[in-house]
Amino acid sequence: MLLIQNGRVVDPARSFDGVADVLLEGERIARVAPKIDPSLVASGADRFDASGLIVAPGFIDLHCHLREPGNEPAETIETGTRAAARGGFTAVCCMPNTHPVNDNASVTRFILDRAAATAAVRVWPIGAASRGSAGESLAEIAAMKDAGIVAVTDDGKPIATAKLLRHVMEYARSLDLPVIEHSEDASLFAGAVMREGPASVRLGLHGMPAATEAICVARDVQICMLTRARLHVAHMSARESLELVREAKRRGLPVTCEVTPHHFTLTDEDVVYDSRYKMNPPLASREDREALLAGLADGSVDAIATDHAPHTQASKEVEFDRAPFGVTGFETALGLALEALVHSGRAPLARLVELFTAGPARVLGKKRLIAEGEPADLTLFSTEHRWTFRAAESASKSRNTPFDGRSFRGAPMATIVAGRLVWRREK
Ligand SMILES: [Zn+2]
């Protein structure tokens, strides 16, 4: 038993915002009330004084790479989820581009078994849409659903053809699974390492235009219209893509999208010859970033997702052209979101909480709220705590982040999963 006292409970799913106590019993929330008399709670109950802190539903990350099986030098389910816990995440969805690819039930079961044995937070695997994510034939989607996947994707690239996407979406619809698309046109993307524009010209690096993403989103929305399956646009970076998602939503289509913290805080003007600024999709223009921030504030964007993509030092410490795409992201996500949305005055705190909780839950067809009987997953954070992120102190095995040394106002303070305190900030 755990009694969380005096925190400000912010629960967007119930439109609740006020000081309250929360009692956790076993793996569930037992009670939420303005004041719970500790003398009425069993004497063995632990207490957590959350005075001055926000008590939010447990954060969900829709998009991360845990690298296990196959690339354990970069990350494991254990180290990745420890980093996730430090970022306030209580559940993370891991992408299927492991080695082997998670395209069948035995890999899904392996991931869940490893998670049960080693993970600090819940791990919700995402299955490949096509066999080997090779874009030719369907993966074993139904068997993976039975084993525990929560969505399908060929992340790293889009589902190869409109015909295969149609097939995947028809299948996913019958299984009530969302299809997550890494939207990019391969022909426009070929050879690119950053966004095309004045910055790429100045650096002499091969760029790709915003249309690379939007062309694919347009295709995906058309197939969504045809199949009525749930479509989720991953790590969206361009204003034009957001407009397509907005239009799809206006038409009542089941289309959702996510944005990463690096895309709503950095732009292509920040790119230097340092592979910690190389990710896919690449950092976009200032106009794109402003559009994404507006979409996060007005509800057009459904979730903040990290796209935590760890890489070993050796693989990243090469010429910009040769380095793999991707940056780590669990531990800096909340600090960046508070800065860009709340402290800037762009969005109220409840909206930020929604983007980390009820929003991503909805994408997966789940709920996320603080109420009696719900899973006891909670994220406790401060909007004011001052701290500096040091990549060397990260729980992740990898250090490939452009935010090393960045100072923040606001931080995750404690992470509770299934009624257990899995991490607590010490300083
Ligand atoms: Zn991707």
Domains defined along the chain, listed by start: 2-54+374-424 (2.30.40.10), 59-363 (3.20.20.140)
Cα(380) to ligand 1 centroid in Å equals 29
Sheet containing 152-153: order of strands: 127-128, 152-153, 179-181, 231-233, 255-259, 303-304
- Of 21, 154, 185, 307, catalytic: 307
Over the stretch 141-170, which tens digit does the pLDDT of each residue have?
999 999 999 999 999 999 999 999 999 999
Copy the structure tokens of residue 196: 């095309």
Cα(192) to ligand 1 centroid in Å equals 15
Cα(117) to ligand 1 centroid in Å equals 27
Strand partners for 54: 8, 381
Q: DSSP readout, 136-170?
A: SSB--HHHHHHHT---EE-TTS--S-HHHHHHHHH
Task: Look at residue 401 in the predicted model and tell me its pLDDT.
Answer: 96
Cα(35) to ligand 1 centroid in Å equals 44
* Active site (annotated) includes residue 302: no
Task: Look at residue 1 in the predicted model and tell me its pLDDT.
Answer: 92
Residue pair 59/90 in contact (Cβ under 8 Å)? The answer is: yes
Residues of the chain with pLDDT under 70: 427
Cα(344) to ligand 1 centroid in Å equals 28
Task: Look at residue 427 in the predicted model and tell me its pLDDT.
Answer: 67
Q: DSSP readout, 5-47?
A: EEEEEEEGGGTEEEEEEEEEETTEEEEEES---GGGS-TT-EE
pTM above 0.75, yes or no: yes
The Cα 216–Cα 223 span in angstroms is 11
Containing 361, the helix (H) or strand (E) segment is helix 358-363
